[in-house]
């Protein structure tokens, strides 16, 4: 599949089949994540693959933004100590978030091109998820990626037109003419 096709056709899925995700695809999604660029190549990410039903159920319950019964979730965390040691305050406070987001987009595209649906969830309780998954201090949960075989085909939401948001050489001078 062409990468642009994947970018445009991927949707956030909130209804999944119960079918499990094969291990080779889990590995493929994680490999896609770690090949994302990161500020100063710090690679601040850590991943927790959640497959155990009991653990998944606990995570779902403390995540008001988690919809559907997907058989897999991957919590993308940032290592704040590593980011600070290698990237200073900028690394710790800003780049970790940006880097994890870039890695997550790679994960979504790798999953989509493998026939899987995904949804990014940020609406979870950090305090609760750290307790449930025994995450140590210095490791911050950033984004939860829900993964499974989709049981819905959401329609594409609208996009702001390029004419409205793109400028040439200076802010305000339109790049695209209508």
Q: How far apart are CA 166 and CA 33, in angstroms?
A: 28
Q: How far apart are CA 148 and CA 18, in angstroms?
A: 8
When asked if residue 69 is in the footprint of other proteins (CB under 8 A), the reply is yes
Scanning 96-104, 107-115, 122-130, 161-169 for contacts with other proteins by CB under 8 A, the matching segment is: 122-130
> Which of 31, 30, 136 has the alpha carbon at shortest distance from 73?
30
Number of chain residues interacting with other proteins (CB under 8 A): 21
Phi/psi at 73 (nearest 5 deg)?
-140, 145
Scanning 21-29, 107-115, 121-129, 135-143 for contacts with other proteins by CB under 8 A, the matching segment is: 121-129
Kindly identify the residues of this chain, within the stretch 5-34, that bind other proteins according to CB under 8 A. 12, 14, 18
Scanning 66-74, 79-87, 135-143, 169-177 for contacts with other proteins by CB under 8 A, the matching segment is: 66-74
Q: How far apart are CA 49 and CA 33, in angstroms?
A: 13
Scanning 83-91, 100-108, 119-127, 161-169 for contacts with other proteins by CB under 8 A, the matching segment is: 119-127
> Which of 46, 163, 51 has the alpha carbon at shortest distance from 96?
46
- The CA–CA distances, whole Å, from 150 to 12, 26, 30, 51, 69 equal 10, 16, 19, 17, 10
> In the complex with other proteins, which residue's Cβ is closer, 42 or 145?
145
Q: How far apart are CA 172 and CA 64, in angstroms?
A: 39
Taking CB under 8 A as the criterion, the residue among 1, 34, 127, 175 binding other proteins is 127
When asked if residue 120 is in the footprint of other proteins (CB under 8 A), the reply is no
Smallest gap from Cβ 21 to other proteins, in A, equals 11
Which residues sit at the interface with other proteins, rule CB under 8 A?
A: 12, 14, 18, 53, 56-57, 61-65, 69-71, 123-125, 127-128, 157-158
């Amino acid at each position: 599949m062409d990468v642009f096709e994947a970018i445009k056709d991927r949707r956030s899925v909130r209804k999944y089949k119960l079918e499990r995700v094969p291990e080779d695809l889990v590995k493929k999604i994680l490999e896609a994540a770690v090949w994302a660029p990161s500020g100063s190549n710090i690679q601040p990410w850590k991943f927790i693959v959640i497959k155990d039903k009991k653990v998944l159920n606990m995570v779902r319950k403390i995540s008001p933004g988690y919809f559907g019964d997907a058989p897999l979730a991957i919590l993308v965390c940032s290592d704040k100590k590593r980011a600070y040691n290698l990237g200073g305050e900028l690394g710790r406070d800003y780049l970790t978030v940006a880097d994890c987001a870039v890695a997550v987009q790679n994960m979504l595209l790798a999953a989509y091109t493998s026939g899987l649906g995904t949804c990014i969830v940020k609406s979870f309780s950090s305090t609760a998820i750290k307790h449930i998954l025994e995450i140590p201090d210095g490791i911050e949960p950033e984004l939860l990626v829900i993964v499974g075989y989709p049981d819905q085909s959401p329609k594409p939401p609208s996009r702001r037109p390029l004419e409205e948001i793109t400028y040439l050489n200076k802010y305000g001078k339109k790049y695209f003419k209508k």
